[in-house]
Amino acid sequence: MQLRAVAMEEGKDAIAIKANQSNSRVLPLRVLQFFVLFLFVSLGFSVVSMYAVKYFNVQGRILVPVAESNIRPCFEESSRLSSWIRPPSNLLHTMNDSELFWRASFMPRIKNYPFKRKPKIAFMFLTKGPLPLAPLWERFFKGNEDKYSIYIHSHPSYHADFPPKSVFHQRQIPSQVAEWGMMSMCDAERRLLANALLDMSNEWFVLLSESCIPLQNFSVIYLYLLRSRYSFVGSFDEDGPYGRGRYDENMAPEVNLTQWRKGAQWFEVNRKLALDIVVDTKYHPKFRDFCRPACYVDEHYFPTMLAIQSPHLLANRTLTWVDWSRGGAHPATFGKADITEEFFKKKINERSTCFYNNQPSSLCFLFARKFAPSALEPLLDLASKVFGF
């Protein structure tokens, strides 16, 4: 009996062991089945969600139209070609000289323009204050509005009051004090050039003062400049105390004595040379530090620099007539009593001989100075007969 009972107990234990083994095999299988089912449910939910979002978005667009905003990102305007070629609407910007010169230095390297470009002349007036001969210039510019730009650099304390219909209205640029014979005078000229370079259509750049007048009508001057292969900057190697005598040995090695040049302050340059003047950082410090009165930097800086860099592009003369026959540090000034038809015929035109595009020419001057405010009335009376406008 005891043996039998023991056998029965052993049989129960064996059955229990087998049951436990069977349960341990079923449990992982159920976990696996549950995991697979979870994956299928999740995948189905994701697919349904995507289609639902797409459906409701489309429905939303159809049922609830969204008004197009008038607000545009600030960078969208710069992506248009017109924003690059359109001249600034307001000349009184807030850029300092460093920012202005950097902005003006942008230059396309492809010569053919992808838009219709009419070349213009930039007339740059470097003045102390008012433009007393403005009525004469107004008549000169009339009818040629798409062929010129005007820029005025005056004393910072002077505020022009030109009427809205005037060609000089709102043509002042941000200015600084310019002292005669000092680098600040050349900086003012560079400032004028840089502002004018912001207009992609400006091809020629003419520096004028408040005492300058035009000697020809606009059409003659326009064609004379645009057909010229050279820029008009006087650049001469002059011996004596007023030429080489002003050279400072500290200018070397950038400028040697044999490279030292002298010329008139008033110039007419094309776009390439205007850009060269604005971007210069090599010669500017030398002339600023070592060309001081009695070395007058406006007579030496640009003539020397351009003669070194681009001598083949210079006509080596200016188109602005002045009279130095009376001597002294400044040229002669002409008033009301001087203005006659005979004055312009004999004093300027008959004495003129020069070369234009390597050919002899009798038309050598397009502008003249210095003329006092009192000369305005007789100049207006003679303009149509003598100047052709």
**327 found inside a domain:** no
Residue 52, helix vs strand vs coil: helix
Complete DSSP assignment for 343-381? IIIIIIITT--EEETTEEES---SEE--B-GGGHHHHHH
Q: pLDDT tens, 78-118?
A: 567 777 778 887 899 999 999 999 999 998 889 888 888 99
Q: Domain range holding 237?
A: 77-317
Mean pLDDT calculated for residue range 124-149: 97
Q: pLDDT tens, 48-74?
A: 566 555 544 544 444 444 444 454 444
| One-letter identity of residue 113 | Y
**223 found inside a domain:** yes
For residue 388, give the nearest of 332, 360, 349 by alpha carbon.
Answer: 349
Mean pLDDT calculated for residue range 243-270: 97
Radius of gyration of the chain (CA): 40
Alpha helices (runs of H) in 65-121, residue ranges in sequence order: 81-85, 97-104
For residue 126, give the nearest of 52, 188, 198, 62 by alpha carbon.
Answer: 188
pLDDT cut 90: percent of the chain above it: 70
Q: How many helices (H) and strands (E) are present in the chain, helices listed first?
A: 11, 9
In the structure, what pLDDT confidence band is assigned to residue 130 with cuts at 50, 70 and 90?
very high
The pLDDT assigned to 348 comes to 84
In the structure, what pLDDT confidence band is assigned to residue 351 with cuts at 50, 70 and 90?
low
**86 found inside a domain:** yes
**2 found inside a domain:** no
Q: pLDDT tens, 6-35?
A: 344 444 444 444 444 444 454 466 656 666
**383 found inside a domain:** no
For residue 334, give the nearest of 389, 376, 388, 367 by alpha carbon.
Answer: 376
For residue 88, give the nearest of 214, 20, 172, 31 by alpha carbon.
Answer: 172
**283 found inside a domain:** yes
Q: Which two tokens stand for residue 28?
A: 């992982």
Alpha helices (runs of H) in the chain, residue ranges in sequence order: 2-63, 81-85, 97-104, 134-141, 183-197, 218-226, 271-279, 284-290, 301-309, 341-342, 376-382
Q: Which residues pair with 178 in a beta bridge?
A: none
Rounded to two decimals, what is the model's pTM?
Answer: 0.79
The pLDDT assigned to 237 comes to 97
**213 found inside a domain:** yes
Instruction: Domain count for the chain, please give it.
Output: 1
- What is the CATH classification number for the domain harbouring 172? 3.90.550
